[in-house]
């Protein structure tokens, strides 16, 4: 294994399989990977160990946990009006002051965990411990978070633990030559619509990997919490595939399983055989660990199934999330704006959608988001 933070000296590990075949893999815990399109579209791992004077030293403490969140959802790469990939430094200079001026108190950063497929918006993660090198260096991302903290802004990472890229050469799929080191083997370990791999949350090594990943981003980059992507897929063995969701005045087919199945609200749907108990246990463990280690940590669940007690503390039998997303709200707004004239807006339907939430559980109601149907 080579070790140099120069991109010209990639780091790999090699293994000999029982069959005698020698395979080469990027270390699963690597902190930086880079891409040279003049050579190959595949990413190479580099050992990131910059000189001491180039390491970012955090100047600002994390802001106190706000009583209510006003979240600005952002993607660093598309934060410029120019037709190119923007950088961490440009976001720090140009976007942070604007976000602060507009009155937000939190930023949710998408597409930070390294992903080979840029058009996936960061949701096909290859390297879970590596900040995307498209936008700059790890130190540049630390500077972004630190500067945001200095402005009183908390920074949430959009973390993807619901699935992983199926890439082998520059991902963790088939890391040891099998299909079941980090994931379920066979068809159970493949998401047929996302074309990606599904974690085996009952495997202790998987739990160690994912829980360590959560702590890593909190410690290394000083993030303030997480928006957990694809929680509905993690909660149920059907992952929401081939099902429907009914909102007042609209009936949407869920092609990407971001929206929930046709839940009636009956408890048999939430606590029956379709529930992935290992997925629920992992999410509960993750919340318990984060809130014990970082009392002001904020966790947000992208769940649209209405799973009861998802946002109640573990001591009360819940999974421990602080908030859930009200995904129907941005869907409602975009549908009204695109398909209805002002006089056709149904005030009763709008009121119901805005207030349709579980009693006692905090909900984030986006005006708009990247998930709008």
Output the pLDDT for position 341. Answer: 95
What is the tens place of the pLDDT at every residue in 79-98? 999 999 999 999 999 999 99
How big is the chain by its Cα radius of gyration, in Å? 21
Q: String of b and e for 320-335 (b: at least 16 CB within 10 Å)?
A: bbbbbbbbbbbbbbeb
Q: What's the distance, CA 182 to chain centroid?
A: 18
User: In whole angstroms, what separates CA 201 from the centre of its chain?
Assistant: 16
CATH match for 53-364 among 3.40.50.720, 3.40.190.10, 3.20.20.80, 3.30.70.600: 3.20.20.80
Please confirm, yes or no, whether 67 is among the known catalytic residues: no
Question: Looking at the DSSP assignment, which residues form a beta bridge with residue 252?
Answer: 245
Q: Hey, which bits of the chain come out as E strands?
A: 13-16, 22-25, 33-36, 40-45, 71-75, 106-110, 113-115, 125-131, 154-159, 190-191, 196-197, 225-228, 244-247, 250-253, 298-301, 323-325, 363-364
**pTM, two decimal places:** 0.91
* 107 Cβ contact partners less than 8 Å away, ≥ 6 residues apart: 71, 72, 73, 74, 96, 99, 148, 153, 154, 155, 156
Pairing of strands 250-253, 40-45: unpaired
Which 8-state DSSP code applies to residue 326?
-
Residue 91 DSSP symbol: I
DSSP β-ladder status, 244-247 and 250-253: antiparallel
Distance CA 175, CA 300 (A): 30
* Segment (H or E) for 35: strand 33-36
- What backbone phi and psi angles, to 5 degrees, belong to 312? -110, 155
- Per annotation, catalytic residue among 158, 170, 229, 276: 229
How confident is the model at residue 262, as a pLDDT?
64
Is 219 labeled as catalytic in the residue annotation? no
Distance CA 72, CA 55 (A): 28
- What b/e string do you get for 182-192 counting C-beta neighbours within 10 Å, with b at 16 or more? bbbeeeebbbe
pLDDT recorded at residue 266: 77
Of the residues 302, 303, 361, 371, only one is catalytic, namely: 302
- The ranges assigned to domains in the chain are 53-364
Indicate the pairing of strand 363-364 with strand 323-325. Answer: parallel
pLDDT for res 306: 87
For residue 154, the surrounding DSSP H or E stretch is strand 154-159
Q: How many Å apart are CA 112 and CA 128, to the nearest integer?
A: 9
Residue labelled with tokens 């349709």: 356
Q: What is the pLDDT of residue 41?
A: 87
Counted residue by residue, the chain has a size of 373
Average pLDDT of adjacent 10-residue blocks, the chain of 373 residues: 46 93 95 91 92 96 95 96 96 98 97 94 96 97 98 98 96 96 96 94 98 98 97 92 43 36 73 93 98 98 91 94 91 92 95 89 87 67
Cα–Cα distance measured from residue 30 to residue 320, given in angstroms and rounded to the nearest whole number: 29
Q: Do the strands 13-16 and 22-25 form a parallel or antiparallel pair, or are they unpaired?
A: antiparallel
């Amino acid at each position: 294994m080579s070790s140099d933070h120069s991109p010209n000296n990639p780091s790999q590990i090699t293994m000999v399989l029982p069959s005698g075949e020698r395979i080469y893999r990027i270390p699963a815990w690597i902190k930086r990977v880079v891409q040279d399109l003049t050579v190959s579209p595949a990413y190479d791992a580099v050992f990131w160990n910059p000189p001491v004077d180039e390491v970012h030293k955090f100047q600002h403490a994390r802001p106190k946990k706000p009583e209510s969140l006003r979240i600005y959802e952002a993607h660093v790469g598309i934060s410029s009006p120019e037709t190119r990939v923007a950088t961490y430094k440009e976001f720090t200079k140009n976007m942070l002051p604007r976000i602060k001026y507009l009155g937000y108190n939190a930023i949710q950063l998408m597409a930070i965990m390294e992903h080979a497929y840029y058009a996936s918006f960061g949701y096909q993660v290859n390297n879970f411990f590596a900040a995307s090198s498209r936008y700059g260096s790890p130190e540049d991302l630390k500077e972004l978070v630190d500067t945001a903290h200095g402005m009183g802004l908390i920074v949430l990472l959009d973390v993807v633990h619901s699935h992983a890229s199926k890439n082998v050469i520059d991902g963790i799929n088939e890391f040891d030559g099998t299909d079941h080191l980090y994931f379920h083997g066979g068809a159970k370990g493949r998401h047929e619509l996302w074309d990606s791999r599904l974690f085996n949350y009952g495997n202790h090594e998987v739990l160690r990997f994912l829980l360590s990943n959560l702590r890593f981003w909190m410690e290394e980059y000083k993030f303030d919490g997480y928006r957990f992507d694809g929680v509905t897929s993690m909660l149920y063995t059907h992952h929401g595939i081939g099902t429907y969701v009914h909102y007042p005045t609209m009936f949407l087919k869920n092609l990407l399983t971001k929206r929930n199945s046709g839940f009636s609200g009956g408890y048999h749907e939430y606590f029956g055989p379709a529930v992935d108990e290992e997925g629920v246990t992992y999410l509960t463990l993750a919340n318990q660990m984060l809130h014990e280690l970082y009392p002001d940590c904020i966790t947000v669940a992208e769940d649209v199934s209405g799973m009861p007690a998802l946002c109640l503390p573990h001591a009360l039998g819940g999974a421990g999330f602080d908030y859930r997303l009200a995904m129907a709200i941005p869907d409602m707004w975009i549908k009204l704006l695109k398909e209805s004239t002002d006089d056709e807006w149904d005030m009763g339907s709008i009121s119901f959608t805005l207030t349709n939430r579980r009693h006692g559980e905090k909900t984030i109601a986006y005006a708009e988001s990247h998930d709008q149907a």
